[in-house]
Structure 1
């Protein structure tokens, strides 16, 4: 029985007390829960204390409904006899059926014969007899429990639990099984003297979660058995012991929700045969909190005991870990952010002593709209510093052309003004002026000046001519040529290039006066940038776009690498970018830099196709050899991942990464999942080959099995099968 019995008690006691009522009666319920309705073919009184309703008896109130053949209420004995077939249904979908019931007036105590319960339209419990106690407990004898669809009187569910007794605690939303046997089909597999499981209406239940069987070439065959522990309404802990012949691991996850934010901690500790002398582990922490004065605090922290732990245990494929804490405030005309970041490299070719470990940043920007001169005035300031562990002021034995212990601090301020006008036949003209003030302090670097300061002016004139055509059938086409003449004065100082070693040339910075990612380098001299943008939106719903762009400069800049597209010549590579999307779920985007010999120095492409059955993603990346970016050979690779819904219950997934330059697979994965209303089985196999960040190849197999219908197993009502007769 479920909580609907409490509400039906008031309904039945009220309706059945109407001794002088006609065969169909409707009155207002004095409990305040809406009108009660009793419908029957015949309603009569026997003596002074006995009321009988017979023939298609229905009692209704709110979303609750009771159907029976005969209801007899004996006021002197305070007893309610309901003869079936009995069917009780509430608005949540909970169902109780029985052949016969003898209850007290409040329906809190009594016996049901041939009782069957269906909780939350998922879990079915059939018993010979059910006893209702104190309006809270339902005791079922000789019980069969399953969430599988059973077709026909002789049907056998895929799995079932047979028990001598089951007690349902309606208030705690728990099920207690005594002398229980777990069956697959008709075959008993496990025996439990006593077991407790949450009913499907409980959202957060203490207990075991879905286990995972994992087999890897590094750790052998093992099993993960998560245990969930709720702590009040706002926090919980999940403990995940992982046992195999080669490891003893305890993983955990802690979550807590606050009034003004949330916190999640994830980690693990291991003793294994891979590094038997060391205690290995990792810790990730994520959180977000609202602070006074419209500030928001966000942090994402990560730490690991050694370079290979995350890869050995299949936790993450990252080869660098970034721990960051940032406070941000965003208003209409003011942006402010303060942050600290710590990097930990996991790459075998890099050292944490010579890589920048700690970075401190503070940035503020304000927009003003002066009426006297018009346009928009922007004021911004930034402070930045990064430190290395090494104390060497020269390049060490790694011979990477970098000073091992260089530490840098800088202060940058920017004053800019911009305005735009429409002139002539729809021509858009824009003017922008800049003034940058920079100061750099460099420590532990014998190759550069310690203190460098500069004041740099800049200006740009931009012209756009957007041309739009509308088709008679609703299509639209936009063609927009754009050109910008820019100038940046001053001379480059002798501060080191420590942040702008990787330059990206794309649509976003085509019209920028400096395409370096940080202010330790700025483009100098006069530049001319030209581009052409085309976009079409078809009546059928598909859209396409193309962008072409190129930059000319009066002075060569040796700080640009070959693969940046800006090279060391006065003319940049030709930027080509395109995008296509269709209403049937296809999206394609591509970008490349074409040099003067019609060869791509850099290219990337992304494609995805998604519909009700297929989710396919593919990407391509091309990078040429570039010593300035520490790339001794070219890189070219394809990556694929997909999920295909083979049928309503079966799904398959694949993932692959292929290195075209080395002509070998880097990673290959396959997955298969079966799901119906009572079980979910997932199998995955993954092969990781040796690479620069993964020196030890491994093969992993994962198997998960979940029984649906309990709170810990989740719901799968949408996958319910139908019976064919």
Structure 2
């Protein structure tokens, strides 16, 4: 009877320490509770129920423990003392020395309270008071999300906030500080009479975000002060004005919304200020930008997305440090997909941001419509058994304000039939048909230039091409399993038969998508080595190569491929720098070695067939564990850059170093050099500190790029972030 009476009176005590909010939402007075104690007594004359010794009350995964818990029936006061702890369902744990509350939990007093929150943040105070149903006030409190030193828990954490009074409002979900100071390693670094931040349970809260400081020769000193407004659970808006000393105020904002079927975002900025054109300066000119993005699933087979990127001028985004990619791309897409079928409708608009970009020459793609299909391997027919058919078709319309316009319809069909011979040989029969039709205007009849030069008489008309191709590929994989390594050695030979490139075609087919020709290991065995359909690699040829792969639990993975091609018929489709201009092609290949997680190397090459001189080298090497990882990238290429077959040699070296100095500190360094001009392009150094409660990032970079308002210079960027409080960042 005494235990039952005590249980009834003690039930209100269970949620009193609901850290950090001390909320009552989860408390259910009708829920069954379990009380255990070494001794439970009831003094009827005093109206006092007392439980002593290992007292534990459990209700709905909430557990309250104390040495002694008592309830005074007459005064309706609940008290607990001695090793008080409360474990909440969410994982929060609260400790106290002494608790005294009214039975309705509206008012009360807690002595020596501390809390370990579910995110490992800590809150402690000499005493606390519960005021009404929504607030808990702590006197001489301290808050910190930092872990304490294991060897000496009395040492001050990395940072903490001490205040004469800390109030936690569980309805507004805020923690307020009065007469507060911030300490780093126990040393006071900042003081404020009042401030607040969301409690650890809050994911989104209206208010100011981390400011950003910037400095440059163009805008002077600047400060971005974002203000975040969560309009609803599905949308938010951030206002981010940029205040500068030399260019005034730039208004900027970002809106984001999530729908059941997709996402949408809108970013924009605007200002009136001067613009340096190099030889002249315009005053009080409107400048701004607008970026928008959306992606939506219309149903299980249809989806659409769009992207808008526009700026009033070429240097605005880089001057005010909004963005630095180029060109800006605006597009719209509708896609259909079902099984092995895929269709699309695209449109593209481009806006160059460099000094040598001419937007009048940029292509406007409106529309691009395509459909592709891949069949299942066929069954039932002896000849076509395991055959796979692929179909690609599209309509493309390209318009320019200045230069060549085209309308193109293209159809590609391909058939592949594998066959395994009893000898172990693997044969693959291939057939392909490409059909294209064009209507064009403003084209240079003697050049592939999309913008004819001065004085050139342009041409207009219609043309087309019908181009078949067939091939047979032979492979003879030899497999070796020696226990410690599995190896595969595979010679490959492919014979391709196709007519000359101008077979059944007009003489004036424009070239829009087949300009960037790169002969390498990836297209050695392709029927058409051009990246698009406007140009085709015709004639009869043989492709041959050798591939080795090895896999070992001890020595990791390795791969090697080398190959070449020989053309039996003349074909002047390729220029000299591609390595395919003559009958015998250059030699291409790749090597990859990954023996263990501390080393990896990948090398792709193209060698001159006559003297084995390197025409293209692409090397990436990574060495070392995470504690000290070194990376190197080397690129050499010789490419045709003008219709006059002029060749430019590009050679670049990149070196990087990344090191995890210890559990918290990271260091990185990167260096890029143009070996052709013997000029350094950029140098950067980075230092990062990261633990459970603080991020510190310092980056120093020197860039040598110049474009009108953009001058070469040094940049130092510093970012400090404190958990729950936000941070500050800035650069100059």
Q: TM-score range by the shorter chain?
A: 0.7 to 0.9
RMSD of equivalent CA atoms: 3.1
Q: Indicate conservation of the 8 Å contact 1:216/1:699, yes or no.
A: no
Unmatched runs of 5 consecutive residues or more in structure 2: 1-5, 15-26, 277-282, 446-458
Distance 1:344 1:164 in 2: 57
Residues 410 and 578 of structure 1, relative CA distance in 2, 3 Å threshold: same
For residue 318 of structure 2, give the secondary structure of its aligned residue in structure 1: helix
Alignment pair present for 1:669 and 2:684 = yes
Structure-2 residue corresponding to 1:5: none
CA shift digits 1:303-327 (9 cap, x unpaired): 2232223333444442322222222
CA shift digits 1:540-587 (9 cap, x unpaired): 151111111211113444342333222x21111101111122332533
Distance 2:235 2:54 in 1: 49
Unmatched runs of 5 consecutive residues or more in structure 1: 1-7, 17-28, 391-404, 715-725
Residues 187 and 486 of structure 1, relative CA distance in 2, 3 Å threshold: closer
Alignment pair present for 1:387 and 2:399 = yes
Of 37, 43, 50 in structure 2, the residue corresponding to residue 46 of structure 1 is: 43
Distance 2:69 2:670 in 1: 62
Q: CA deviation at 1:614?
A: 4.9
Of 335, 360, 372 in structure 2, the residue corresponding to residue 328 of structure 1 is: 335
Q: CA deviation at 1:492?
A: 5.0
Structure-1 residue corresponding to 2:225: 225
Structure-1 residue corresponding to 2:456: none
Distance 2:88 2:625 in 1: 36
Q: Indicate conservation of the 8 Å contact 2:327/2:352, yes or no.
A: yes
Distance 1:289 1:444 in 2: 38
Alignment pair present for 1:594 and 2:607 = yes
For residue 547 of structure 1, give the secondary structure of its aligned residue in structure 2: strand
Alignment pair present for 1:544 and 2:558 = yes
Structure-1 residue corresponding to 2:454: none
Structure-2 residue corresponding to 1:650: 665
Structure-1 residue corresponding to 2:263: 262
CA shift digits 1:42-78 (9 cap, x unpaired): 3211126311123343334454333333211112322
CA shift digits 1:615-653 (9 cap, x unpaired): 654322112253448876321112244432211122112
Distance 2:570 2:711 in 1: 44
Larger deviation, residues 489-498 vs 368-377: 368-377
Residues 32 and 336 of structure 1, relative CA distance in 2, 3 Å threshold: farther
CA shift digits 1:259-281 (9 cap, x unpaired): 11122334443556655533333
Of 620, 635, 658 in structure 2, the residue corresponding to residue 606 of structure 1 is: 620
CA shift digits 1:409-433 (9 cap, x unpaired): 1111133333121124111112222
Distance 1:692 1:482 in 2: 49
Residues 295 and 463 of structure 1, relative CA distance in 2, 3 Å threshold: same
Of 376, 396, 400 in structure 1, the residue corresponding to residue 388 of structure 2 is: 376
Q: CA deviation at 1:357?
A: 3.5
Structure-1 residue corresponding to 2:363: 356
Q: Indicate conservation of the 8 Å contact 2:79/2:99, yes or no.
A: yes
User: In the TM superposition, what are the counterparts of 1:283-682 in structure 2 within 5 Å?
Assistant: 283-292=290-299, 294-358=301-365, 360-368=367-375, 369=378, 374=384, 375-390=387-402, 405-445=403-443, 447=445, 448=459, 450-473=461-484, 475-489=485-499, 490=503, 492-493=505-506, 494-540=508-554, 542-566=556-580, 568-595=581-608, 596-608=610-622, 611-614=625-628, 617-624=631-638, 626-628=640-642, 633-682=648-697
Q: CA deviation at 1:456?
A: 2.1
CA shift digits 1:331-361 (9 cap, x unpaired): 3331212211112222322311123233531
Residues 532 and 85 of structure 1, relative CA distance in 2, 3 Å threshold: same
Distance 2:318 2:658 in 1: 24
Structure-1 residue corresponding to 2:22: none
CA shift digits 1:232-265 (9 cap, x unpaired): 2122223333333234334433322211112233
Larger deviation, residues 280-289 vs 627-636: 627-636
Q: CA deviation at 1:695?
A: 6.0
TM-score (norm 2): 0.85
Q: CA deviation at 1:670?
A: 1.1
State the structure with bigger RCO (CA 8 A, min sep 6), 1 or 2. 1
Q: Indicate conservation of the 8 Å contact 2:66/2:81, yes or no.
A: yes
Q: Indicate conservation of the 8 Å contact 1:15/1:38, yes or no.
A: no
Distance 2:294 2:653 in 1: 34
For residue 279 of structure 1, give the secondary structure of its aligned residue in structure 2: strand
Residues 10 and 344 of structure 1, relative CA distance in 2, 3 Å threshold: farther
For residue 285 of structure 2, give the secondary structure of its aligned residue in structure 1: coil
Of 263, 279, 289 in structure 1, the residue corresponding to residue 286 of structure 2 is: 279
Larger deviation, residues 281-290 vs 342-351: 281-290
Q: Indicate conservation of the 8 Å contact 1:212/1:702, yes or no.
A: no
Distance 1:359 1:162 in 2: 62
Residues 705 and 713 of structure 1, relative CA distance in 2, 3 Å threshold: closer
Residues 220 and 113 of structure 1, relative CA distance in 2, 3 Å threshold: same
Distance 2:339 2:366 in 1: 28
Distance 2:705 2:144 in 1: 46
Q: CA deviation at 1:704?
A: 1.5
For residue 11 of structure 2, give the secondary structure of its aligned residue in structure 1: helix
Q: Indicate conservation of the 8 Å contact 1:136/1:169, yes or no.
A: yes
Residues 326 and 153 of structure 1, relative CA distance in 2, 3 Å threshold: closer
Structure-2 residue corresponding to 1:26: none
Residues 63 and 377 of structure 1, relative CA distance in 2, 3 Å threshold: same
For residue 76 of structure 1, give the secondary structure of its aligned residue in structure 2: coil
TM-score (norm 1): 0.85
Q: Indicate conservation of the 8 Å contact 1:163/1:177, yes or no.
A: yes
Q: Indicate conservation of the 8 Å contact 1:11/1:59, yes or no.
A: no
Distance 1:117 1:271 in 2: 52
Q: CA deviation at 1:139?
A: 1.8
Q: Indicate conservation of the 8 Å contact 1:175/1:198, yes or no.
A: yes
Q: Indicate conservation of the 8 Å contact 1:56/1:67, yes or no.
A: yes
Q: Indicate conservation of the 8 Å contact 1:488/1:513, yes or no.
A: no
Distance 2:217 2:325 in 1: 20
CA shift digits 1:154-203 (9 cap, x unpaired): 74455443434322122332112234344456665544343221011212
Distance 1:292 1:157 in 2: 52
